[in-house]
Chains A and B, each alone.
Chain A
Amino acid sequence: GQNIDQPTEMTATEGAIVQINCTYQTSGFNGLFWYQQHAGEAPTFLSYNVLDGLEEKGRFSSFLSRSKGYSYLLLKELQMKDSASYLCAQGGSSNTGKLIFGQGTTLQVKP
């Protein structure tokens, strides 16, 4: 199977920067996604990396290293509304659009 590991919980301060790490199994790699999920709501897409390097999108950036099976999501200038779960997901190897999710990292932003 494909194991995706990310920390269960993180806490950070408003205005700070936080990095959420994710490791995955490299066999059958087919892209790495990050989703945000607020409590009681649907996951929403944040980023997609298929090549090595950093993808920047406003306050959020995502990094991928395929050789290391490693990704991170970087959140800058944290706001209270960034308190949510952040889900790392790997694209399924059969190219069906299937997503294999980690258990998610619950981020709490404190004043």
Chain B
Amino acid sequence: DIVMTQTRPSLSVTPGQPASISCKSSQSLLHRNGNTYLYWYVQKPGQAPQLLLYEVSNRFSGVPERFSGSGSGTDFTLKISRAEAEDVGIYYCMQTLEFPLTFGGGTKVEIK
């Protein structure tokens, strides 16, 4: 199985300041078709997970522009350019290159 690792379990951010969350996979998520199958989700308190970014850097419908993604191969980063109070939650990366789909352990973002 592909192991997804988020080394930072929690992060405290000042409103208006940037935040960065890293994710590493145990093998490359680059498919032979040229796509990289790394997704980012956020689970806000008491809610179901929500899709933020797909294939590393593409924002899902309705996701604010302050969220961006980067990376390739096995190393990926989610960035929030200016954190807002509503960004509180647990952020998960997930690989969908092969079964079983696997998630990182999550990074809990708190706003100071």
Q: Is the pairing of A and B real?
A: no
Contacts from B to A (Cβ < 8 Å): none
